[in-house]
Amino acid sequence: MLEKVMKAAHAIEETLITIRRDIHKQPELALQEYKTAKYIADRLRALGCEVTENVGSTGVVGLLRGRETGKTLAIRADMDALPIEEATEHGFCSATPGVMHACGHDAHIAVVLGAAEILSGLKDSLAGSIKLIFQPSEESPIGGADRMIEEGVLENPHVDAALGLHVTPELPAGQMGCKEGPFFASVAYFTIEIMGKGGHGALPQHSVNPILVAAECIQALQTIPSAQIDPMEPFVLSIGSIHGGQKSNIIPEKVTIEGTVRCFGDELMSRTGQIMENLLCSITSAYGAAYRLNFRSEVKTLINDQGMIRLIKEAGEEILGKDHTLAAQPVLLGDDFASFSQLLPSAYIYLGVGFPGQPNPPLHHPKFDLDERALPMGAALLSYTALKFLS
C-alpha cells in the first residue's frame, strides 16, 4: 500500500503546486472565504466526494466512503488568510492588497486536497470513511472549528479520530515534527479600557491621565510571568495594541490596550484572568481612574493522542525516514484544531517547508514562503496514516 500511496503522491505533485498557487493568489480573510470554499467544493466533487457547503459559515466538508462501513477519520485544513501586505516577488503572489496567506493555509488546503485525491484512487481499500474538513476562521477569535462542531461536522457519520498538520519553515522540506500530549497552547485575548479624566496638557492637576495609568498597568502586567506564575510553566502575556489620545496637549478620557495570554491548562488561564483583575483594580484606584477588562479564553490546549501520534509517526518513518521524523517541542502558538483534539483522539503535526541552507522568514511574515516539494510529502503522510487507521 505504501508504494501505491507514494506513486500517487508523486503523480500529483504539479497539481498540488497549482492548487497552492491558485489559493495563494486569491487570499480571503476569516469568514470571507467564499471563492476559496467554492474552489475546494468543486475539486472535491470532481473526486467523487459527497460535499456539504456553508458549514460554520463558509466551511466545506467532503465525505469519501470506502468499500464497506467502518470507522470515520476526519482530516482538517484551515482556509483563511491574514491582513498582511505580501512582500514576495512571485508571479503568483496575492492579488488582494493587504491580504496574504502568510501562515501556510494555502499549503494546508493543497495537502488535504492531495490526500483526498490519493484516497479517492484507493477507495476500494478503505474499510470506513474519510471526512475532509475545510475550516474557516482559524486566525480569528471567532473560531471556525467550534462553529463547524456546533453545526454537526463530527456526526453523520460520527467521526472517530482526527488528523491535521501545520507547515513550519523551521524544518526543511522532507521532515516532520510530532509530539504526544499538550502541543499548542490555550489562548486568551483581552481588551482593557482605562478611563481617566480628560483635560489640558498644561493643567495635569485637573485631570487623570489614562495614558500614565495605562503605562503602569502594562508594566505591572509584564510582571505576571516572573512574579506570580511558576517559572517552570510555559507562559507568555503579550501586549499587541495600545490606543489613546489625539493631540500632544490634550489629556484623553480613555486608553485601550489589547493583547493575548498563552499557556497550557484551563486552570492557569482562569487564574491569570483573576490576577489581571487584581492588578488593574489596585493601580487604577490608586490614581482615581477606572478600568474595564474583557478577558476571553478563545482557544483550548491542543492535546495529541498517544495512539494517533504513534500511528502518524510510524507513517512518517516509512515515508520520510526515521532521521526525518523528529520529536517536536510544545509551542505557545494557538490553533483551534484544539477543539477537535478535546473531543477526539487526534494527531496534529508539523510539516517542514523550509528551504534547506538559507534563511526562512517565519510564519505571519510578509516574505513568508515555502518549499513546494513538501506538498506531496504531506499528502502522502496524511493519506497513508488514514489507511493505517481504517485498517
Element (H, E) at 390: helix 374-390
Q: Report domain 2-184+301-390's class.
A: alpha beta
Question: Mind giving me the DSSP string for 75-125?
Answer: EEEE---BS-------TT--SSTT-B--SSHHHHHHHHHHHHHHHHHTGGG
CATH 3.40.630.10 domain residues, the chain: 2-184+301-390
pLDDT of the residue at 68: 84
- The set of residues, in sequence order, having a beta carbon less than 8 Å from that of 371 and lying 6+ positions away, is 172, 173, 353, 354, 355, 356
Residues 6+ apart with CB under 8 A from 198: 207, 250, 251, 252, 253
Tell which phi-psi region holds residue 80, choosing left (phi > 0), alpha (psi between -120 and 50) or beta.
beta
Q: Which parts of the chain register pLDDT below 50? A: none
pLDDT of residue 297: 87
Q: What's the confidence (pLDDT) of residue 66?
A: 92
Q: What is the pTM of this model?
A: 0.92
What are the backbone angles phi and psi of residue 328, rounded to the nearest 5°? -100, 155
Can you give the pLDDT at residue 143?
86
Rounded to whole angstroms, the Cα distance separating 186 from 298 reads 8
Contact 65, 77 (CB under 8 A): no
Output the known binding site.
103, 105, 139, 166, 364
Q: Are 319 and 276 in contact (CB under 8 A)?
A: no
Annotated binding site for Mn(2+): 103, 105, 139, 166, 364
From the CB of residue 391, how many other CB atoms can be counted at a distance below 10 Å? Answer: 12
Q: CA nearest 115: which of 389, 385, 390, 388?
A: 385
Each residue's pLDDT tens digit, 268-308: 999 999 999 999 999 999 999 999 999 998 899 999 999 99
- Look at residue 391 in the predicted model and tell me its pLDDT: 87
Largest CA distance in the chain: 81
Q: Are 373 and 173 in contact (CB under 8 A)?
A: yes
Could you please state the CATH topology (level 3) that the domain comprising 186-299 is classified under.
Alpha-Beta Plaits (3.30.70)
* In the chain, ranges of CATH 3.30.70.360 domains: 186-299
